Amino acid sequence: MGRAFEFRKERKFKRWASMSKTFTRLGKDISIAVKEGGPNPDTNSRLRAVIQNAKAANMPKENVERAIKKATEKDTAAYKEVLFEGYGPHGIAILVETATDNNNRTVANIRSYFNKCNGTLGTQGSVEFMFDHICNFTIKGENVNLEELELDLIDYGAEELFEEDGNVIVYAPFDKFGQMQSFFEETGLEIISSGFDRIPTVTKSLTEEQQADIDKLLEKIEEDEDVQNVFTNVAK
């Protein structure tokens, strides 16, 4: 198994621990997708993907429909996706993905978290280059021949493919998301969920005390309502 497998194993138990927070973040994803491509999932591939993720997270159908309807209203604020880069204590690289309707508020909050925990909010490009930006798909594994699928996906740039809990997990470069999504839909393979990750190219090991310092900062960041995802280069 490669880096993506190890990365996934660590993150899947940590991501979106709170159900209410999960729904809030999915609601923002829905809003962004609708503002970008309209409310019809048949013609909006990004919205289609978010709806699949909402289903996988057991988000009630009425919540999804309400979020889509709200996003179509003219007075609904548009969320902007903003990436923050910085260094935490002990030189740990941190990427923070946000969705915000008030960038000034988000910048101030994220900077304060870094400052309070002996970190430094960096400039654009200061940390992002240390991570590979990739996409991932979870495909229903029933009646899927793993070897044949792997051969089919070579042309689409698939980098890792493995079985997990009866499903098939596929990782590919970030810019291959649209092609991969189209392939799965056209071949009738059921997409359970999909998304994006940032995997560090080089990791750094920490002592227990150093890890506690990082955890303090990450907890503050992850509790912020504008934060969608957080990535670090801490060795697992």
149-207: pLDDT as tens digits = 999 998 888 999 999 999 999 999 999 999 999 999 999 999 999 999 999 999 999 99
CA 228 – CA 28 distance, rounded (Å): 9
Q: Is 83:98 a contact under the CB 8 Å cutoff?
A: yes
Q: pLDDT band for position 236 (50/70/90)?
A: confident
Q: Domain 80-129+202-232 has what CATH class?
A: alpha beta
Q: What pLDDT score does 37 carry?
A: 94
| Residue-level pLDDT at 148 | 92
Are the folds of 3-72 and 80-129+202-232 the same? Answer: no
Domain 131-199 classification at class level: alpha beta
- Paired tokens of 143: 């009646």
Q: Which fold has domain 3-72?
A: Arc Repressor Mutant, subunit A (1.10.10)
Q: Are 232 and 86 in contact (CB under 8 A)?
A: no
Beta-carbon contacts of 107 under 8 Å, excluding residues fewer than 6 positions away, are: 84
Identify the pLDDT of residue 21: 82
pLDDT value at residue 53:
96
Mean pLDDT along residues 2-27: 66
pTM score, whole prediction: 0.89
Distance CA 61, CA 51 (A): 9
**What mean pLDDT value characterizes the chain?**
91
Kindly tell me if the per-residue pLDDT of 12 is higher than 90.
no
- Digit-coded pLDDT (tens) for 34-81: 999 999 999 999 999 999 999 999 999 999 999 999 999 977 778 999
Spans of all domains in the chain:
3-72, 80-129+202-232, 131-199
pLDDT at 16: 46
